[in-house]
Structure 1
């Protein structure tokens, strides 16, 4: 099972809802990055992750491209989904090409998310990878309180 270590780089992807790219979530971006930094992780946002609801909804190929590029980038050790949503299934035709399946198999990484991301867990499992059904960037790391919820923090520390 793949685990993250201090100093690792994690990529944030928006595979379903594009809410993370909206202005009303901008204050949560810093909070989420700061909390992941507290775990000793370096955070990068994939190129399309912050393009907003309309772009993310209308461009499943770009969402899939972000995921494949995160797997292909050897400097990235983990992938965390921004949030769930309702149409991640639209990525399947792009992710499940022979070429992209090979990329994912050859570059296994820590992958975590929940809700609509379940379909991605299934695809990764079919490719022989382990993944974590759990915390998302927006709802767990970027939670609006003064600190991360104890349950979420402990869960992440134990992964």
Structure 2
């Protein structure tokens, strides 16, 4: 169990992927400080190497330093983009496994969350500092605060026409569909058997969504789930010759042959309402005609 934060604790903000400037995260820094936390910034904040927040060596050093520093009680990834997979295999998690702490992020950070899951440790799929100023992000920030400080969270969601009813119990795992799919066969790959998988994505071509779902199914990632949560599939793209199905319809096609409960439209993903989820924690998913309830057992 990862210790809950308390006022006075130090947390670190780093960037493992796309570059980011200090002004872009000032709202988040002020928010964390209002919670009574001390914020430590990594060298990757404000650094620049082409697309990235510093070259691979700097971003790796930043992540390693914060993982090893016992005074840092949580690591918050500033933004996603791309870049975490470039450094993940060079990270030494020895000390982190001895003295675990919260790691927070989503999108490209799915790599880090999945890698940590294989150590039997929890992490948080939640809003990142870049997005704190977004209109409508307040509930997302509050759910992150509650989980960091050890408070209970229970989520209720409206029904969706594609939902498949039932109750599922299992560890909650997942994240960004495109990242989760590319982790197959790597050291960051995880088993989904008996687990509740959640998926979301942004700006993917619909034929790519189909290809990724085919791949996950062929890899056995869909067959033995306890349950499936589909979040936002935001700003999907199409080709000049239309693919002919929405992202939800594509996912429905590839999961329709299985019997576990599935919910669509869960508020997780690249939207202001991105409810924080504890990856690796035992959860219960209730899907009924009246709606959806997700709670931790």
Q: TM-score range by the shorter chain?
A: 0.7 to 0.9
What does residue range 1-159 of structure 1 map to in structure 2 within 5 Å?
A: 1-2=1-2, 3-18=4-19, 20-21=20-21, 26=23, 28-52=24-48, 54=50, 56=52, 59-95=55-91, 100-140=92-132, 143=133, 149-159=137-147
Seen in structure 2, the aligned counterparts of structure 1 residues 62 and 151 have a Cα distance that, compared at 3 Å, is same
Seen in structure 2, the aligned counterparts of structure 1 residues 149 and 93 have a Cα distance that, compared at 3 Å, is closer
1:39 to partner: Cα distance:
1.1
What is the CA–CA distance in structure 2 between the aligned matches of 1:65 and 1:117, rounded to whole Å?
Answer: 16
Q: Where is the strand percentage greater, Structure 1 or Structure 2?
A: 2
1:127 to partner: Cα distance:
2.2
TM-score, normalising length: structure 2: 0.46
SS of equivalent to 1:138: helix
SS of equivalent to 1:47: coil
Seen in structure 2, the aligned counterparts of structure 1 residues 57 and 80 have a Cα distance that, compared at 3 Å, is closer
Structure 2: gaps (5+ residues): 148-297
| Bigger radius of gyration among the two | 2
What is the CA–CA distance in structure 2 between the aligned matches of 1:58 and 1:158, rounded to whole Å?
Answer: 32
Count of aligned pairs between the two proteins = 146
Q: Of the two structures, which has the highest relative contact order with CA contacts closer than 8 Å and spacing of 6 or more?
A: 1
Q: Where is the helix percentage greater, Structure 1 or Structure 2?
A: 1
1:93 to partner: Cα distance:
2.5
SS of equivalent to 2:93: helix
Structure 1: gaps (5+ residues): none
Q: Is the 8 A contact 1:61 1:94 kept in 2?
A: no
1:157 to partner: Cα distance:
2.7
1:67 to partner: Cα distance:
1.1
TM-score, normalising length: structure 1: 0.82
Q: Is the 8 A contact 2:16 2:53 kept in 1?
A: no
Which whole-Å deviations, capped at 9, do the CAs of 1:73-114 have from their partners, x for residues lacking one?
Answer: 12110000000112211012211xxxx121221221111000
